[in-house]
Amino acid sequence: MDYIIALEFLVIVACLLVGTRYGGFGLGLISGAGLLVFAFVFHLAPGKPPVDVLLTIMAVIGCASVLQTAGGLNVMMRFAEKVLRAHPQYITILAPITTWCLTVMCGTGHVVYTMFPIIYDIAIKEGVRPERPMAAASVASQMGICASPVSVAVVSLVAILAKSAHPVSLLQLLSVGIPATFCGVLMMALWSLKRGKDLENDPNFQAKLQDPEQKEYIYGESATLLDKVFPKEAYWATWIFFAAIAAVVILGAFPELRPVFETAGKTKALSMNLAIQIMMLTAGALIVLFCKVNTKEIPNGTVFKAGMVAVISIFGVAWMADTFFEAHFELLKGSLAGIVAAQPWSYAIVLFVVSKFVNSQAAAIAAMAPLGVSLGVDPLMIIAFISASYGYFILPTYASDLACINFDRSGTTCIGKYILNHSFIIPGLIGVSTGCGVGYLLVKLLMV
C-alpha cells in the first residue's frame, strides 16, 4: 500500500514538473492527465473541482479585463509614473512600493510590464544601477497579490477558508496580508539601495559605454505615459472599479450589511464568495455600459489572457491534488496532522515549495490550503503565512522576471552563471521571509 501511495505522489510531482515547462495553461491540462491516471489506473474517485473558487476568479478577471480595455489601468500607471518622476533620487524605494500598490489595487502583477521601461528610464538617467529598483519592483509586484482584495490568490483563500470550522473574513486576511507584504517590500527595497556596484565603479557597464552604439542603446529614448491623453471614460472606469473594491471590503468587514435569505427553513446571509462575484460582475457591467468599451478587444488584453490561464491552471492542479488527498486523507491526517498543527511553519515551507512547482500563488493556495485546513492548521496561521505562496522567484523563469531582464538595457538585471544567483533571489527571500515573520507576529499579537 505504501509504495502505491508513493507512486501516486510521483504522478503529482511529474505533472507539476512537466506542466511548468508549458506554462500555466499546460500545467492545468497536464494535471488533467494526472487525474486520468488516478481514476483509470489507480482507481481513485475523482475529488471535487474548486467550482466556487473558479467562479469567483472568473468574476474578478471579467471586471479587471474590462477595466484594462477601458484604459483604467493606464490611468493608474500614469499617476504612479508622476510619483516616481517627482522623486527620482528615491527610485529604489519608490519603484517597488509603486508596483506593489498597483497590484494591490488591480489584483494582478501583470500591470508591472508597463512600469519597467519607466523605472529603467528614471534609474539610468539618475545614475542609479537599474538592477536595484527593477528587480525589487518585479518581486514587489508579485508580493502585492497577497494583499489585494481582488487578486485570484486572495479570493481563492477566502473561498477555501469560508468552509473551514473557523472561517476567516476578508478583512482579517487583508489586515494581515497588507502590512505583512508591505513590510517585506520595504525591507527588500532598503537592502537593494546598496546592492551591486555603482555604475561608475562597474567595469562591465563602463566597458559597454566605450561603444557608441551600446551607449546609445543604454541611454536611448525615454518611455513615458505622461504625454498620453486618456478619455474621460478611462477615469470613470477607474472610479467604478475602486468603488467595487471598496464595496467588497465593506461587505467583508460588516457581514450584517449582506442580505439574509431563507432556504429550506434556515436563514443564511449572502456568502462572501457570492458578494465578490456580484460586485465584480456589476462593476464590469457598469464600465461596459458607460465607458465606451470595445467589448471585442477584452479577450485580447493581458489581464484576460493571464486570468484565464490561471483558471485552467487552478482547475487542473486543485482537482488533481484534491483527488489524491481525499483518497488518503485519514492516513495523511494520522501522520501529518500533529506535526503541522504543532509546527505551522512546516505548512509555509510546503506552500513555498509547491508555489515554485506551479508558478502561481493562486494555484499553490488552491492545492495546499484545503489540505492545511483538513490537517488542523489554524486558519489564522494559514493567513499569517500567505506570503509563502510566492516562491516562483527561486528560478528566474516567471514572465515578469524575464520581462524585467529584457527591459534593463544596461544588463545589470540578469541571470547569473549558476542560474540561482540571479537578480531576484535575494530580494525575493527577504520579502517572503519578512512577510511571513510579520504575518505571524500580527496573528499572534492581534488575533489569537
Report pLDDT digits (tens) over 169-225.
888 899 999 999 999 999 999 999 999 999 999 999 999 999 988 888 888 777 788
CA distance 333 to 259: 37
Give the least confident one: 82-91, 320-329, 336-345: 336-345
DSSP string, 289-330: HHTT--GGGGGGSHHHHHHHHHHHHHHHHHHHHHHHHHHTHH
Q: Which of 385, 314, 399, 300 is nearest to 345 (CA)?
A: 385
- Which of 57-61, 149-153, 295-299 holds the top average pLDDT? 295-299
Taking residues 55-84, report their average pLDDT.
Answer: 88
Q: Helix (H, G, I), strand (E, B), or coil: what is residue 166?
A: coil
The residue with greater pLDDT, 428 or 47, is 428
Which pLDDT band, with edges at 50, 70 and 90, does 237 fall under? very high
Supply the DSSP symbol for 398.
S
CA distance 145 to 88: 26
Which pLDDT band, with edges at 50, 70 and 90, does 439 fall under? very high
Q: Is the pLDDT of residue 448 over 70?
A: no
Give the least confident one: 48-52, 134-138, 179-183, 285-289: 48-52
Q: Are 362 and 153 in contact (CB under 8 A)?
A: yes
C-alpha grid cell for residue 126? Answer: 539618475
Give the least confident one: 31-35, 175-179, 229-233, 254-258: 254-258
CA distances from 280 to 31, 60, 308 (A): 29, 6, 16
Residue 374: count other Cβ atoms within 10 Å of its Cβ.
17
Q: Are 199 and 127 in contact (CB under 8 A)?
A: yes
The residue with greater pLDDT, 165 or 145, is 145
Residue 14: count other Cβ atoms within 10 Å of its Cβ.
14
CA distance 30 to 19: 6
Taking residues 222-250, report their average pLDDT.
Answer: 88
Q: Are 57 and 313 in contact (CB under 8 A)?
A: no
Return the pLDDT at 39.
94
Amino acid at 68: Q
Q: Each residue of 331-382: pLDDT tens digit?
A: 766 666 666 767 778 889 888 988 877 777 888 888 888 888 887 888 999 9
Return the pLDDT at 385.
95
Q: Torsion over CA of 60, 61, 66 and 70, rounded to 10 degrees? A: 100
The residue with greater pLDDT, 341 or 288, is 288
Return the pLDDT at 127.
92
End-to-end CA distance of the chain: 40
Taking residues 275-286, report their average pLDDT.
Answer: 92
Question: Cell match 465584480: residue?
Answer: 280
Q: Are 188 and 85 in contact (CB under 8 A)?
A: no
Q: Is the pLDDT of residue 118 over 80?
A: yes
Q: Are 11 and 34 in contact (CB under 8 A)?
A: yes
Average pLDDT, the chain: 87
**Which helix (H) or strand (E) covers residue 89, if one does?**
none
Q: Which of 25, 27, 272, 284 is nearest to 155 (CA)?
A: 272
- Which of 141-155, 221-235, 350-364 holds the top average pLDDT? 141-155
The residue with greater pLDDT, 383 or 217, is 383
Give the least confident one: 60-64, 81-85, 204-208, 232-236: 60-64
Return the pLDDT at 281.
94
Which pLDDT band, with edges at 50, 70 and 90, does 100 fall under? very high
Return the pLDDT at 414.
87
Which pLDDT band, with edges at 50, 70 and 90, does 293 fall under? very high
Return the pLDDT at 333.
63
Tell me the Cα Rg of the chain. 22
Q: What pTM did the predictor assign? A: 0.78
Return the pLDDT at 169.
83
Return the pLDDT at 334.
63
